[in-house]
Amino acid sequence: MAKLKKAFFCRSCGYESAKWVGKCPACGEWNTLVEEVVGKESARTTSFAPARGSNRPVPVHEIERQAFTRTDLANGEVNRVLGGGLVQGSIILLGGEPGIGKSTLSLQLALKAAGLKTLYVSGEESPHQIKMRAERIGIVNEACYIYSETNLENIITQITQHGPDLVVIDSIQTIYTETIDSSPGSVSQIRESAALLQKYAKQTGTSIIVIGHITKDGIIAGPKILEHIVDVVLQFEGDNNNIYRILRSIKNRFGATFEIGVFEMRGEGLIEVDNPSEILLSHYDEPLSGIAVGAAVDGARSYLIETQALVSTAAYGTPQRSATGFDSRRLNMLLAVLEKRVGLKMYQKDVFLNFAGGFKISDTGLDMSVIAAILSSYFDRPVDRETCFAGEIGLSGEVRPAPRSEQRIGEAARLGFRRIVVSGYLRKSLPKPPKGIEVVYINKLEELGRIVFGVSGPVE
Determine whether the annotation assigns residue 123 to a binding site.
Answer: no
358 is in an annotated binding site: no
Q: Is 386 annotated as a binding residue?
A: no
Q: In this structure, are strands 244-252 and 260-266 parallel, antiparallel, or unpaired?
A: antiparallel
- Classify strands 166-170 and 70-71 as parallel, antiparallel or unpaired: unpaired
Listed residue (8, 9, 7, 10) closest to 215, CA to CA: 10
Cβ-proximal residues to 392 (8 Å cutoff; 6+ apart), any chain = 364, 365, 367, 368, 399, 400, 401, 402, 423
The string of DSSP letters for 175-228 reads -B-TTS-S-TTSHHHHHHHHHHHHHHHHHH--EEEEEE-B-TTSSBSS-THHHH
What is the number of alpha carbons within 13 Å of residue 445 lying toward its C-beta?
Answer: 26
**Residue 222 is assigned to a ligand binding site:** no
Query: Are 379 and 271 contacting, i.e. CB atoms less than 8 angstroms apart?
Result: no
Q: How far is CA 348 from the centre of its chain?
A: 37
- Three-state DSSP at 452 gives helix
Q: Tell me, rounded to whole angstroms, the distance of Cα 293 from its chain centroid.
A: 23
Q: Residue 96 annotated as binding? A: yes
209 annotated as a binding-site residue? no
Which residues define the annotated binding site?
96-103
Annotated binding site for ATP: 96-103
